[in-house]
Structure 1
Amino acid sequence: MALSESSVLGADVAITQMASQTKTIDANPNDSSSLKNEFITLMVAQIQNQDPLNPGDGTEYVSQLAQFSQVESAENMVSLMQRNSVMMDNLQVLATASLVGQEVMIRSDKFSVDGEPAQNLSGQVVLTSPSSQVNLLINDQFGQIKKVVLGPQAAGQVDFKLDVEALNLAKGAHSVSVELSNGQEYQPQILLSGKIESINIPATGGASMISLRGLGSVPFYDISQFGGAN
């Protein structure tokens, strides 16, 4: 499926912004490498001009050179980690851009009805134990509750599909909860399925945000499964 112009543009901008971070940084006259070179210059000058009858102790020179080498190694390690971080961000851009248009499932119990035709919602209820009766309770922003009967179910993943038009769900925000048979007080995990419409990659770093119809914008790490409910 071809990416939308806005999605491709967003990815290109993000890649450009991240690539700019890899530009060579101007030399810092106070970094360990520069200070080490100055120290060696001063050490050579001091050795050349020292009193041959009372030479300086070379142990101190070696000790200070070792300290400069340790600081330089630490700076190189930090620089390498920063470059690796930029590379990982670039790889994330390439990986997430290809997900536009794909169906995923996220951990959420909230959705919204946009009033547009052909909006359906599917998902899963994760039961830790079997139940003789499983019902979905759809609660809208006005406090109206509609019940969807799923019947008796075994432990595990229970797929469901909601026909927004047939249920006559009001436009706006809704939440989903699960009603189990008597004696089962826990609230099962709910997963909702949606198609990725766009991906926003923050220029300042951090988690990418995916936008799904009816589910809004959620962090990339909230994806629990690629592909919708069966």
Structure 2
Amino acid sequence: MSNINNVNSSGNVFLDLNKQDDASKTAAQEQSDMFMQLMIAQMQNQDPTSPADTSDYMNQISQMSMVESINNMNLTMQGMSNSMLSSQTALQASSMVGKTVYVPTTQAKVGDDGMIQGVMALQTSHEDVRVKVYDSTGAQISNLSLGAQAAGDGQFKFQLPEGYGAGDYKIEVEAKWGDDYVPVQAYLGRNVDSVSLGQNGVGMKINIEGGSVSFDQVKQIGA
């Protein structure tokens, strides 16, 4: 199972690039507006008895055109960069189809092998962590102790009790805290059916059985 715990930061790269693109467009427009305002103010406040040389205005207009050309070139390059980024993201997204992603849920979809696999997010270390399993009727069928666990993202894998096979089961992960047990966020596997991309790769949706999740909700990606 490959660990991609930093998927959040990867998703934010696309958001940051979009923000930079918008910022570049805004800055270019502000520079152009400021230049025009200064030029108009200069014309309005010039001395009528000693007007500015026409060539000075022509030089200023030429400078303004040059600045706008550079800004437009920057925007074009930014657009090309976003297009390449979108293509790269689409390629990466397509490679996820058919793989298993671990998403926050309590509902485990168990196959014929009767195996349950998941990831648990522990903020601190605990002297014991246990996993409870409930069947479709709500009856508890298993209470597995995983023993002491260190802080971080831990994995668990176990076989259902004899007599239980493929189907939907509810999973609860609890960590010992003092004399009590407290709930722990569990991430269970789902097969990726397809991936939907937003503009420039932003807003990626992972389509799984029963719905979809955003890319930043994925804790890990498995084979």
TM range (shorter): 0.5 to 0.7
- Rounded to whole Å, the distance in 2 between the matches of 1:56 and 1:129 is 74
AA aligned to 1:221 is D
Distance 1:119 1:198 in 2: 25
Task: Tell me what 2:59 maps to.
Answer: 62
2:206 aligned with 1:217, yes or no? no
Q: Which runs of 5+ in 1 are unaligned?
A: 1-31, 33-53
Matches within 5 A, 1:8-27: none
Write the mapping of 1:1-230 to structure 2, written as runs, cut at 5 A. Answer: 56-104=53-101, 106-111=102-107, 113=109, 117-118=112-113, 120-138=115-133, 148-156=143-151, 157-161=153-157, 163=159, 174=170, 176-183=172-179, 187-202=183-198, 206-213=202-209, 216-227=211-222
Compared with structure 1, are the counterparts of its residues 99 and 55 closer, same or farther at alpha carbon in structure 2 (3 Å cutoff)? closer
Give secondary structure in 1 for the equivalent of 2:96. Answer: coil
- Once the two structures are superposed, what CA deviation does each residue of 1:32-88 show, in whole Å capped at 9, x if it has no partner? 9xxxxxxxxxxxxxxxxxxxxx99431111112211222222222222212211211
- Cα 1:55/1:129, change in 2 over 3 Å: closer
Q: 2 CA distance for matches of 1:167 and 1:130? A: 34
The structure whose residues are more often helix, as a share, is 2
Would the aligned equivalents of 1:131 and 1:181 in 2 still touch at CA under 8 Å? Answer: yes
* Counterparts of 1:178 and 1:218, CA distance in 2: 24
How many percent identity over aligned positions?
Answer: 15
Superposed CA RMSD in Å reads 3.9
C-alpha distance 197-70 of structure 1, shift in aligned 2 (>3 A): same
Per the TM alignment, residue 195 of structure 1 is displaced from its structure 2 partner at its CA by 3.6
The AA in structure 2 aligned to 1:85 is N
For 1:143 and 1:179, how far apart are their aligned partners in 2? 21
Q: CA separation of 1:146/1:131 partners in 2, compared to 1, >3 Å: closer, same or farther?
A: farther
TM-score computed with the length of structure 2 as normaliser: 0.57
Structure 2: how far apart are the matches of 1:89 and 1:56?
50
Unaligned runs of 5+ in 2: 1-28, 30-50
Task: Check whether the contact 1:199–1:209 (CA below 8 A) recurs between aligned residues.
Answer: yes
Summarize deviations over 1:110-160 as a string: whole Å, max 9, x none.
Answer: 33548x744643112233444333222446787655652224213144432
When residues 205 and 92 of structure 1 are mapped into structure 2, their CA distance, relative to the original with a 3 A threshold, is closer
User: RCO (CA 8 Å, sep 6+): is it higher in 1 or 2?
Assistant: 2
* Contact 1:137-1:148 within 8 A present in 2 as well: yes
What TM-score do you get using the length of structure 1 for normalisation? 0.55
Displacement of 1:95: 1.8
Count of residue pairs brought into register by the alignment: 173
> Which amino acid is the alignment partner of residue 121 of structure 2?
V
Provide, for residues 78-110 of structure 1, a one-character-per-residue CA deviation record: whole Å limited to 9, x for no partner. Answer: 222122112111111112212323334x34133
Shift of the 64–177 alpha-carbon distance from structure 1 to 2, 3 Å rule, reads: same
AA partner of residue 136 (structure 1): V
Any idea what SS the aligned residue of 1:123 has?
Answer: strand
Secondary structure of the equivalent of 1:221? Answer: helix
